[in-house]
Chains A and B, each alone.
Chain A
Amino acid sequence: MPGPDTLRFAGIATALLGGAIRGSIPYMFVSLGECLTEKSGRVNLGMEGILLMGAMTAFGVSEWTGSPWLGALAAAAVSGLLGLLHGGLTELPGVNDIAAGIAMIILGSGLAFFFGKQFTAPMAPQLPVLDLGGGIGNTAARAALRISPLFFLGIAAGFALHYAFEHTRWGLHLRAVGDAPEAARSMGIPVRRHRIAATAIGGALAGIGGSHLTLYFPGIWSEGISGGQGLMAVALVIFAGWSPRRCLAASLLFGGAQALGPSLQSAGVTGLYHVFNASPYLLTLVVMIASCSRTRAMAGMPGALARRG
């Protein structure tokens, strides 16, 4: 017979796994979107605003049409437009992408809060979940294995992006654009078009991540719903060394850190609850300090970002 401590540990581990899978989804989509954007040689700090717009749009459209899938699609479309706006703005002469990104945070969250104010319904129709643990008796384990289809979509997107970078003409051109824009231009690759496209698709991906925030349990809209995940996902791309597959792993890590507080609480550990809740932020800080120290080479960084100094 396993002792009570073993059971309790198993409980925490199961809750943590479920929480990591749930919590990783926004990180996954935003970091993949940011990875794509940065591979083209641009930074989009506006992901936080885009994520919020995605969450709000998904909620609104899902509630209005009754179809959560349409909600997720609309989130991708609206966020893609915001990405397009950022991509277009930063191609204007004299526009700095960092400054434009900060403006995008403010614009995106402002728009989301403004339209979000109109919502009267407490909940919108939610995306279906895949009940992978249907036969398991343990309720905690069953809850952990109720997984959103977006999780698998995110994994697929990560591998698809990796494939695109390595095995398609578009991916090769995009990497050349991000690595050596002048060289790409001399080979007749349209630098501007690639950057705008990458930033727009990156925004759309982040929007899908946003839809998870409002279309998964408990499925409510609130202004604090993103909790800085959009910004943390930007840091995560650095941590993942600009590799889509490593973005997936890093997202699980960040999702797990985010689940630490709630899963300990569910197992009855209530001390230091707020400290554990702050773990994703601490993790971001640690990642930034570790990866931005002057004495470590930023391997994998697109050349256009490295040379801006």
Chain B
Amino acid sequence: MPTPPVVEALGISKSFGGLRALDDVSIEVPSGSFHAIVGENGAGKSTLAKCLLGFHRPDSGAVKLDGMAVTTPAEARRAGLGMVFQHFTLAPSLTVAENLVLARPDLPALLNWSKEKERLRAFLDTAPFRIDLDARVDHLAAGEKQKVEILKQLYLETRALILDEPTSVLTPAEADEVMTVLRDLVTGGRLSVLLITHKLREVMAYADRVTIVRRGRRVASNEVRQMDASRIAELMVGSAQPPEQAIRRQVRERRPALEIRDLRVLGDQGLAAVDQVNLKVHTGEILGIAGVSGNGQRELVQAIGGQRGIESGSILAFGVLYRPSRSAIRRAGLLTLPEEPLDNACVAQMSVAENLALRSFEHPPMAKFGFLSDRSAIRRSAEAAVRRFSIRTPSIRAAVRTLSGGNVQRLVLARDLGGPDTRIMVAANPCFGLDFAATAFVHNQLIALRNRGGSVLLVSEDLDELMTVADRILVMSGGRIAHETLRADLDLAAVGRYMGGHAG
């Protein structure tokens, strides 16, 4: 078996329009090593990967595999370079065997399945884990799908594998399993791994070497054992000071604000996605809901926000039955910050000012005589919100869809969290895709709401986020609440088991 190639990027620069995505970045991955690339969103990690794979042609600099220059995807492929993307690249309604065979470049026109299966089984004997060849991919758990992606690369005889955030959709236990598999393959000399991630825990536990990129530049590259996590984080953010964490104050009055009783909600497929869920969020409390995506969290948030009908059960706000209508939202001060806010909480073609006014345009001071809207009042309030929440927009007249994801999130927060009347906030993965500074900003806003006696229901796939922000954490699995714990008593291993649905 050939040894993994030496992967080198030599002084790569790449610009898109005016934006310099990569600026003189070099990296060297020796044969059979585990290299991590870390950096914030937009730091240029993915661009670097695409240059290595030959998908992008660098403006200057060169990519070399075993000393040979590589410029096209086909050349990279032949040299044994492969990639596992952030999102699955498997055909869901095909079987594992079909997906693996599909990847073969030299597939004959007529398939001899018994021969293919035999080949696959012989190949699986050399693989570090088992998988059912005849299972349909959409019946596999996320961790198993990621393993099939890795298997596919091994089947393609990839010797150097780039992985882009491969554990972002996995439970902690699944993530550890996948990383262990990769580590073993590297240790066994079968593979070199280039891991793109922002999870410092994975870097510290599995990588040999780490390269940190910030705004398209390489800021450091070092042996992992000579670094510690806080130093890496510091280098990623750039500023010597990590963003300040809001202080959590004791809130005296504690009474139920949002209450959910025996809630049952159907998913898109007509099966119960939320099944007999009971929970209470108190005043001055942040209740976190942990879980792997697809376990009913989305449907729960949609039901509270009125985007999805309720099969049975009830939602109460301050002891009163709550049905999401404009007047009820205003009365209860219950606002939701859904996933993909551009689609779910904004009107994309309308301007920043109009979107900021969506909650209150029919009330004074934005409306005169109950029906005429006061453009100048809307403008003034928008300008104030843009300043206070530092929304980066060319003007308040710009359409919301022209804003970056982080700034759309800020706009929705400015509108829904900034108002004095917000008393309950339901937020679903509010920091997904945001960088350190923006994440800290969102967290601080949620804690500020809690400190002034408000309530937050925070649904998040990121356990680290829940551990920094939430007071109490529920684990959702298979549409039910599987586990409850106070933040202070949290047992990470137990939470992981409940997330995976493996605990009784």
Q: Is A182 an interface residue (CB 8 A)?
A: yes
Chain A residues near B111 (CB-CB < 8 A)? 167-169, 172
CB <8 Å contact, A183 and B89: yes
In the assembled complex, B93 has its CB within 8 A of some CB on chain A: yes
Number of interface residues of A (CB under 8 A): 24
B90 beta carbon closer than 8 Å to chain A: yes
Docked-complex contact A297 and B269, CB < 8 angstroms:
yes
Residues of B within 8 A of A169 (CB): 107-111
Known contacts A183-B90, A184-B91, A297-B269; A176 and B102 CB within 8 A of each other: yes
User: Quick one: given A168-B110, A169-B108, A297-B270, are A180 and B90 in contact (CB under 8 Å)?
Assistant: yes
Is A176 a contact partner of B91 (Cβ separation < 8 A)?
A: yes
* B266–A295 touching, CB < 8 Å: yes
B113 on the interface (CB 8 Å rule)? Answer: yes
Q: Is B242 an interface residue (CB 8 A)?
A: no
* Cα distance, A179 to B91, chains bound together (Å): 6
Q: Are A296 and B270 in contact (CB under 8 A)?
A: yes
- Residue B85 lies at the interface, judged by CB distance under 8 Å to chain A: yes
A-B complex: 4 closest residue pairs judged by Cβ atoms: A295-B270, A179-B91, A183-B89, A180-B91
Q: Does A170 contact B (CB under 8 A)?
A: yes
Task: Tell me whether B88 is interfacial, beta carbon within 8 Å.
Answer: yes
Interfacial residues of chain A within 173-204, with CB under 8 A of chain B in the complex: 173, 175-176, 179-180, 182-184, 186-188
For A296, what are the chain B residues with a Cβ–Cβ distance below 8 Å? 270
Contact A179 B270 (CB under 8 A): no
Q: Please pick, from B85, B94, B98, B270, the residue contacting A186 in the complex, using a CB distance under 8 A.
A: B85
- Please judge, given known A-B contacts A183-B91, A296-B270, whether A172 and B109 are in contact too, CB under 8 Å: no
User: Which residue of the partner chain B has the closest CB to A293?
Assistant: B270
The docked-state distance in angstroms from the alpha carbon of A294 to that of B308 is: 13
Does B92 count as interface, using CB distance less than 8 angstroms?
yes
Once the chains bind, are A303 and B89 in contact (CB under 8 Å)? no
CB within 8 Å of B: which of A252-309?
293-297, 300, 302-303
Tell me the bound Cα distance from A186 to B102 in angstroms.
11
Whether the Cβ atoms of B110 and A167 lie closer than 8 Å is yes
B102 touches A172 (CB 8 A): yes
In the complex, the answer to whether B88 meets A183 with C-beta atoms within 8 Å is yes
The answer to whether A175 touches B91, judged by C-beta atoms less than 8 angstroms apart, is yes
For the complex formed, measure the closest distance between the CB of A302 and the CB atoms of chain B, giving whole angstroms. 7
Q: Which of B94, B270, B271 contacts A176 (CB under 8 A)?
A: B94
Closest A residue to B85 by CB, please name it. A186
By the criterion of a CB under 8 Å from any partner CB, how many residues of chain B are at the interface?
25
Cβ of B103 within 8 Å of any chain A Cβ, yes or no, is: yes
Main secondary structure of the interface of A (DSSP, over half): helix
Interface check B408, CB cutoff 8 A? no
By a CB distance below 8 angstroms, the chain A residues around B89 are 180, 182-183, 186-187
A172–B99 Cα distance when bound, in Å, is 9
Note all chain A residues with C-beta closer than 8 A to B110.
Answer: 167-169
Interchain CA distance A251-B88 in the complex, whole Å: 37
> What residues of chain B lie closer than 8 Å to A300, measured between beta carbons?
93
Q: What are 8 A-B residue pairs whose CB atoms fall within 8 Å in the complex?
A: A180-B92, A182-B87, A182-B89, A186-B89, A295-B270, A296-B270, A297-B269, A303-B93
Alpha-carbon distance A168/B102, docked complex (angstroms): 11
Q: Are A302 and B102 in contact (CB under 8 A)?
A: no
CB interface residues, B 79-107, toward A, < 8 Å: 85, 87-94, 98, 101-103, 105, 107
Compute how far the CA of A188 lies from the CA of B91 in the bound complex, rounded to whole angstroms: 14
In the docked arrangement, what's the CA distance between A303 and B93, Å? 8
Contacts of B113 in A (CB 8 A): 167
Q: Please, how many angstroms separate the alpha-carbon atoms of A148 and B476 in the complex?
A: 60
Chain B min CB distance to A301 (Å): 8
For A182, the chain B residues whose CB sits under 8 A away are 87, 89
- Tell me which residues across on chain A come within 8 A of B87, comparing CB atoms: 182
Contact B94 A294 (CB under 8 A): no
* A186 CA to B77 CA, complexed, in Å: 12
Known: A170-B109, A187-B103. 8 other contacts (CB 8 A): A167-B111, A168-B109, A169-B107, A172-B102, A175-B98, A295-B266, A296-B270, A300-B93
Chain B residues with CB under 8 Å of A297's CB are 269-271
Q: How far is the CA of A296 from the CA of B271 in the complex (A)?
A: 9
Q: Are B93 and A302 in contact (CB under 8 A)?
A: yes
Measured in the bound complex, the distance between the Cα atoms of B447 and A97 in whole Å is 48
A183 proximity list for chain B (CB < 8 A):
88-91
**Which chain A residue lies CB-closest to B90?**
A183
Cα-based distance from A170 to B271 in the complex (angstroms): 35
Say how far B90's CB is from chain A's closest CB, in angstroms.
Answer: 6
B310-325 to A contact mask, C-beta < 8 Å, 1/0: 0000000000000000
Residues on the A chain within 8 Å of B266, using CB: 295
Chain B residue with minimal CB distance to A164?
B110
> Bound state CA distance, A294 and B267, in angstroms?
9
A175 to B111, CA, bound (A): 14
Give chain A residues whose Cβ lies under 8 Å from the Cβ of B268. 294
Q: How far is the CA of A183 from the CA of B269 in the complex (A)?
A: 23
A173 to B109, CA, bound (A): 11
B93 closest partner in A (C-beta)? A179
Closest residue of B by beta carbon distance from A184: B91
Residue of B nearest to A185 (CB): B89
Residues of A contacting B94 with CB < 8 Å? 172, 175-176, 179
Residue of A nearest to B112 (CB): A167
Q: How far is the CA of A187 from the CA of B99 in the complex (A)?
A: 11
In angstroms, Cα B101 to Cα A168, docked, is 11
Of A167, A187, A293, A295, which is within 8 A of B102 by CB?
Answer: A187
B72 to chain A minimum Cβ distance, whole angstroms, is: 12
